[in-house]
Every structure is written in C-alpha cells, then in structure tokens.
Structure 1
C-alpha cells in the first residue's frame, strides 16, 4: 500500500510541476452572500434526498455538484472521478496499468491499430488489425472507445480475456495486464533526412526524443522533419525540454497565472547553436504544448512550419487533487483552515493525505502562455510559414499510419504478424484487391503479393520474402511523397537548403 501511495504522490508532483496553486482558504474570506449560497445548495441536496424516488447518496450528489461546477467553465476545465483521473494521469505520465494497445472505432468494431513493443498484448499475440468483440464475456460491438477501454484496463497481474476477430477466425486471447510505459516517439531515416513523429507530450517524450536524436547523430543526420500533426499537447515541462533541443538560446514561452500565489514563469533555451535544419509539420489538431514548441521555432527562426493553421489553445491547466468531505472536515479541525486543494496540505503543511481522502481531481485553467515574441495564440492559432493542405485517405488508407516492414520474417498463407497488417495497407493503398487489413496472411494477400512481385519483375510465388518487403517499403516511401503533400513539401525544403549550402 505504501509503495502504491508513494507512486500516486510522485504522479501528482510530476504533472503539475510549476503549475500548482498554493492558496489556502479560511472561513473569514467567505462573504455573507456566499454563505447563503452554500446554505441554499445544502437545502437543495436535502430536498433531493427527501423527495427523489430512487437510489442516490449524499456522496453522489456532492460528486455531481462538483462536476457541474467545473463543467460551467471553459471546455478544458474538467472534474475527474478517481477512475477517470487514473486514465488521464496515465496519458500525461506516459504509464498506466493495462495491456498496451492503441485502439480506434472502425464501424461497429473496436480495432487494434498499434501494439506496444514488449507489452502484455504483444506477448499474448495481439496484432494490429485485430477486432475486439468481447472483453471477459461482455460484448463491445457498438461500444465506445471509453467503454471498451474501461473493461480492458485493470491492475497489473490481473487477467483479461479478449474475444478477437482476425480475418475469418474468432479466437479468445488471455492477457495478463501489466505496467505500460507509452513511448510517443517514432522515427525513421530516409537517406540524409530524419523523420520524427511525436504523438503527445507525456513524461517520456523528452527522453524518447533524445534517443531518436542520438540515432540521428550517429548517422550524421542534420536535416530533421519533426511531425507534430494531431498532437493534442500535454506536459508543459516536456514541451520546454524538447524545444531546448531545437531552439537557440533565449525565451521559449512565458506562463502568466491568474493567482497572485502562483508566480508567472519564463522558460528559456540555453542552446548556443542550433544543430539541425528543421522543418516542423503542424495541422489544425496541433494544440497546446505543440503550439508552445511551434511558436518558439517560428519566432526564433529555428525552423520552418509547414501544414495548416494550428488549433489555437494558449490556456494552461493545473491538475489539482480534491479532498473528500470527510478529509476536509478532518483537516479543518486539525489545522483551523478550510483546505480543499490537497496540494496545500503537501506544500504548505507538509501533510500527505491518504489515497482514500481524495475524492477526485480537477483539471482547471489557471493561466495563459505567450510565444517568445509575446504572441497570444489562444483561439487564433499559428499560421504555418508554408501552407499545405492535409493529406487525404488513399483507397481508404491513411498512408501516414503505415509502418515500414521489419524484414525479419518471411510470410505465406496462414502466417500472422504486424508486418502483414502494414503490407496489406500498402497493397490496398496501391489499389490491389485486399480485404480490410489485418494481421493474417490469407489467400487474397497471397494473390496480391504474387501480382505485386510480377509487376516488380521478380519471382511471382506469393511468399512475402525480404526482397518483396523491401519493395513494399520503397512503395510506401513513394506513397508518402505522392499523397502526404505536407511531408513532401518538408523534404523539398530540406533538399533546397542542401542545394543552397
């Protein structure tokens, strides 16, 4: 219990870092009108408990009242129950307890689109393209992602049985849940240009970005495409850490907080000389922390922004754990002040509350940020230096989501693997007769590979050997340049820079 409790406290501190509020409220600060309003809310709850024909507890009413208050503010201010908070904190912390898959709704099905390396899901034999139809016997057909996710996640060491459709087969796969460390960084090297995709700013982002850049340095790569498209943001400290890898010495961003108890913060880069020729890809879903990095790169001319105008969110949220009513009363008697924010106990009184003393978390807008040049981009966004429209699907396939084939296993009819899923996506994008991509090498895939091999002038025998996989990888490069115009423009800009030098 102590170990789990310590982990929870570390999670709190890691997320809010410099974004926490330290105000403590006493009854003397509450006006007569506020007191009357509080008494009125108490009377409403008493009336509900007396009149409502149904099951409801005072705890549920308090939870609903808190949720309602936070819902009246901007769209980014939210109340999370403890279960909801664990999911959110897992996203920002980059770790959670589960099986290690990324899913999407595809029609009425929940489809696996990514399986984390060395995860419980990978060890149990789940692959991209698998359609999950039931979890521990409960159907998830027509379910939302949140509904499916709540059934699949669980404590490390516990087991979950998934009913999975793969091709025409239906099978049950038992997975033992574990601690998942989510790596939001993927990268590849094409010739003398490196490509890095960052999906979210979680606690692993900066470390994983350093690893990717270390590989670039080993290969003497100086030209980088940094893809922040569809990146919704996340931890400000991670955004600053990544900006420091690309932005020259000077201001990165300034955070301006409403509360006098929370000092404004200026973040600086200390990079004496930029190391890379940088092109950053952005779109209308690049938001928040993505815009901190994009704004710093654009204002300091550390790189070129290509794509479409960003989302436009300059609001900064703090994650604040809220004391439950019983804990509130307990510490009111103990300290003589009315404390709701659990951080006040930690930072002001050096008291760490018990886990069961927390009713939930608030994610509340506490400040705004500006770019190095003082631009306020909230509700405005950042205009790219070069505007290029977003790519469209190619025969129903998003070519950006396809991963290169590993060339480690040869595949034939009956074989299964993630490479099969990505190969089928490439073939479908090229116009071959393929069913919905999955990880099973079926007869249609076999025939499509034979046709592909013949077109490439090779031996047409339907086995996806290493030569065939290399051909498919080359075709993927061509698809990206043809259909992802933003990426193609980035490559063009970096090539032009090479000519100019």
Structure 2
C-alpha cells in the first residue's frame, strides 16, 4: 500500500489516526541551533558525523540508512509510544489502522520455525479457496519457504489486487502438500464479532480501526432486532487505535455529557473535548476489561465508568493515557526542494500540505513518525497513564500458564498401585495433577519419592480418603476427577460469567 502522494492526501482527509486532523500541527521547523555556544549548528554537526561514517566505515551503508538510523535513535529517547517507522514498517501499521489491505485474508504466526495459519477471515479468498486455521504453509507459488521468516512469507503472499498466488500447506500433520490457488483482493478487517446468548448480547471489539464504529452499529442493529437490551462489551486485549472511533462508539453507550478531553502540548494544536448527546441509556451494559485493554479502550471504558453508563468487570487496565499523532517525514532532498519553492523549511509533510496545498510524492517521504503529542482525561478529570482503570467488579481470569501443563497430562490407568520408590507414567501424571492443584511434589519425574508420597497422603486426607500415601485405585479415580475439573476450569471465562450474572440480576 502506498501511503504518500495521492494516498497521502487520503490519509490526511480520512485516516488521521489517534485524534484529529492536523490543521498545521506537527514537528517544529528545523533550526540552526548552536552547540555549546561555539557557533556549530546541529546541521553541520550531523553532516560531519555522516561524513566521518562514510569515510571511515569499512562496509556497505547508504546515507539514507544512516538518516533512518539517526531518526530511530532520536525518537527512541522518548516514551515507548513514540516510534519512527520506515516506509515498510508504516505500511503494516496503516493496514491495522485503515482496517483493510490487499491479500488473501489470513493471520499467520511463526511457531517453532513453522509458518502457521492462526486465523482465516470470514468470506475471504483464503476461506473460499479452502485454507483452514491450523494449516502450516510450506510453499508459495511452488517455492519452498523453509527457513523463511514470517515477514518474508508475508511478502511472497502479498501482491496486486486480482492476481493469483498458490499456497501449499500441510494439514493435521500429514506429509502430503495440499495446494490452493487464491486470488488476492481487498480484505476488510472487521474488528467486531457478536453473539446472542438468551436475552444477553455479547460484542467483542478487537481494536479501534477505521471500521470499528460501523461494525458496532451493525452489531447493535442485530441486537435491537432481537429486542436485546442487556449487552456485554468485551474490550479485553484491545490495544486501542483511533480516538475518533472510540468517541463514535462511546456515543452509542455513554449518556449525555463529556466523553473525554485531549490536552496537547503544542499551542498550535487546539485541545479537543468530545461529548455524547445520548439522552437516555438504551442498554444495561457490562464492559469486560483486563491488563491489555489500553489507550482508546480506556477512553471508552473510562467514559462508561465515570458517567455510570455501565459496569466495568475484570482486572485493572493497562494505563495508557497519552495520545499520539502520525506525521510523514520528508527526505532531505524534498526538504531542500520545497524550501526553494516556499522559502520555508518543512520536515513534516502535513505542514507542507496544510499551509501550501502541496502533496509530496511517494519517493519524497522517507518514513512516518508516531509521536506522543498530548494526554487525555476521563469525564471526571482522571489522567490514567501508568495507573489504569480499576474495574467496578474485580474478577481475575485463571492464568493460562497454570493450566498449560494440562495439555500433556493423561488420566491414571488404575492398573497398578504405585507406592514409595515406584517409577511409572501413572506416577508422573499423578505428580503433574497434584502440582497444578498446589501440592508440593517437586518436579514431576516418574518417581514416587518421599515428597510425592507425602503429597499423595495430604491429597487423600483433603479428599476424605484413607491417608497413607499409596496411589490406590480410589485415589487415582479422585485424581482423574480433579483433572476433569481442571480442564473445565481452563476453558471457563470467569469474567464473562460474572458479567452474565450481573446482567441477570
């Protein structure tokens, strides 16, 4: 995806992520600032550094690479939300925010050196071709992707709209490659999924991309058709996105009044205040949040909490109260070119567009800067950066790590009755179950040592069984029953269950 030239104009008019149209706001003009009052300008200083590197470095490096390295270094000194993106990095970022891209419609991950299909989007070319979640990609257009990185495989799969790509996969551990011819087309990323459970509607919002508010409107239309007035809004693991999208969605749930205030550092950037005009609450609302609910998610959740428009359920949120803007950074050649045309120095392409209506071409933008420009406040004036939102009802979901070991545990066979110094697979499984339950067995190791005997005896006592430390059949059955309970607990969503209970009362 090109993000400059004509598309830069589109970005200016319709993307403008995280807050508002720039209206002339951006990075300060380059200045001739003296270093230690010795008459050496920063521009001369850095030119000297680049010249020295080119003269002394025995290796291959271009001035563009050095400039990009310098830019990354400068902005790495700021907070973790301020990032300089190369053009390639910016394309991936824009895909997330724009909510669309040209491709086949899959989400991939790299696991143990294999490229795995994590998700296939509904109605996508990949789904229509027959590709499934869990497939392992081994070929692209007949070329083996062994030892390829995830980015390299993604690059092979990407291509112009209407072109075809052949994906070779292994399915369910089979040795035979299955090949699918897929036609690339525009993929719309819908961040909203929903379902109706009895008289309660559940809406999951994954991120605030440019499709979020329209997708939320559609989900609520479906709820209204079924006369659903009790809603669970799931913002867990939602990293945020476009503030405008968050505000639009807030206006669907937050009663009349302030939603958020954005306070910017630059005097040239006007602070923004957003309101809802919703006169009457339409839904009884429970909002699920956790430690990865951040940024725009916290704007929405904070507005709902402060205005008593719903109840937050879950764990404390991430705590990102800062706002970022995105700016195209011009190449040195473009800066020099437009200085001659305008008599002014611009490094921020938006300033050039805003003041003179000049849209730089693709090759005149070296990269993009996402920089923290301000902070936001909840309706009650809370600034939650580094603090987060405390839920109204705290419910901790069971940590995945605790139950991950369950994947390899088998039920005890009830064939023998292991006792002290017995070695067997049943002992290993018994020790593993006891460890998850919190009994001290050391490291599960097949051996029924004294520590395991004591743990078995304590388990027997807790279960009302004869406590003597032998894995008899009754004890094995009790451990098998506990394993079944643990597996059920692993699949339970206690935060969701609490929200359902809240809405039913």
* TM-score interval, normalised by the smaller of the two chains: 0.7 to 0.9
Residue 75 of structure 1 is matched in structure 2 by: 80
- Structure ID, larger Rg: 2
Residue 118 of structure 2 is matched in structure 1 by: 113
Residue 100 of structure 2 is matched in structure 1 by: 95
Q: 1:325 to 1:3 in 2, by over 3 A?
A: closer
Q: 1:205 to 1:276 in 2, by over 3 A?
A: same
Residue 30 of structure 1 is matched in structure 2 by: 32
Query: Which of the residues 166, 177, 182 maps onto 1:175?
Result: 182
Residue deviations 1:325-347 (CA, integer Å, cap 9, x gap): 11111100110110011111111
2:321 touches 2:385 (CA, 8 Å); kept in 1?
A: yes
Residue deviations 1:245-295 (CA, integer Å, cap 9, x gap): 000011101101111110100011110011000000000000000000010
Unaligned runs of 5+ in 1: 399-477, 497-501
RMSD, aligned α-carbons: 2.7
Q: 1:141 to 1:310 in 2, by over 3 A?
A: farther
Residue 54 of structure 1 is matched in structure 2 by: 59
Q: 1:481 to 1:217 in 2, by over 3 A?
A: farther
Which piece of structure 1 moves more, 271-280 or 74-83? 74-83
SS in 1 for 2:177: strand
Q: 1:56 to 1:69 in 2, by over 3 A?
A: same
Could you tell me the TM-score, scaled by structure 1's length?
Answer: 0.78
Residue 325 of structure 2 is matched in structure 1 by: 318
Q: CA deviation at 1:23?
A: 5.0
1:98 touches 1:178 (CA, 8 Å); kept in 2?
A: yes
Q: CA deviation at 1:138?
A: 5.9
Residue 475 of structure 2 is matched in structure 1 by: none
Q: CA deviation at 1:39?
A: 1.4
Q: 1:19 to 1:255 in 2, by over 3 A?
A: farther
Q: CA deviation at 1:392?
A: 4.5
Residue deviations 1:75-129 (CA, integer Å, cap 9, x gap): 1111111121111011001011221112234443332222112222122221111
Q: Distance in 2 between matches of 1:298 and 1:143?
A: 47
Q: CA deviation at 1:25?
A: 4.9
Q: Distance in 1 between matches of 2:21 and 2:156?
A: 32
Residue 370 of structure 1 is matched in structure 2 by: 377
SS in 2 for 1:91: helix
Residue deviations 1:365-422 (CA, integer Å, cap 9, x gap): 1111011101010011111111111245597699xxxxxxxxxxxxxxxxxxxxxxxx
Residue deviations 1:172-207 (CA, integer Å, cap 9, x gap): 323222211100100000110000000000000000
1:11 touches 1:89 (CA, 8 Å); kept in 2?
A: no
Residue 13 of structure 2 is matched in structure 1 by: 13
Q: CA deviation at 1:134?
A: 3.8
Q: Distance in 2 between matches of 1:185 and 1:199?
A: 6
1:486 equivalenced with 2:489 (yes/no): no
Q: 1:481 to 1:41 in 2, by over 3 A?
A: closer
Which of structure 1's runs of 4+ aligned residues deviate more than 6 A?
1-4, 478-482
1:191 equivalenced with 2:198 (yes/no): yes
Q: 1:359 to 1:2 in 2, by over 3 A?
A: closer
2:2 touches 2:362 (CA, 8 Å); kept in 1?
A: no
Q: CA deviation at 1:353?
A: 1.5
Q: 1:396 to 1:25 in 2, by over 3 A?
A: closer
Query: Which of the residues 305, 311, 315 maps onto 1:308?
Result: 315
Q: Distance in 2 between matches of 1:278 and 1:198?
A: 14
Query: Which of the residues 123, 126, 131 maps onto 2:128?
Result: 123
Q: Distance in 2 between matches of 1:220 and 1:386?
A: 26
Length, aligned pairs only: 416
Q: 1:143 to 1:280 in 2, by over 3 A?
A: farther
1:353 equivalenced with 2:360 (yes/no): yes
Q: 1:227 to 1:23 in 2, by over 3 A?
A: closer
Matches within 5 A, 1:250-399: 250-393=257-400
Q: 1:150 to 1:383 in 2, by over 3 A?
A: farther
1:97 touches 1:155 (CA, 8 Å); kept in 2?
A: yes
1:312 touches 1:380 (CA, 8 Å); kept in 2?
A: yes
Q: Distance in 1 between matches of 2:397 and 2:140?
A: 36
1:11 touches 1:93 (CA, 8 Å); kept in 2?
A: no
Q: Distance in 2 between matches of 1:73 and 1:151?
A: 35
Residue 91 of structure 2 is matched in structure 1 by: 86
Q: 1:245 to 1:151 in 2, by over 3 A?
A: same
Residue 481 of structure 2 is matched in structure 1 by: none
Q: 1:2 to 1:180 in 2, by over 3 A?
A: closer
Q: CA deviation at 1:68?
A: 1.6
Q: CA deviation at 1:360?
A: 0.9
1:94 touches 1:181 (CA, 8 Å); kept in 2?
A: yes
Q: Distance in 2 between matches of 1:55 and 1:229?
A: 46
Which piece of structure 1 moves more, 66-75 or 186-195? 66-75
SS in 2 for 1:32: coil
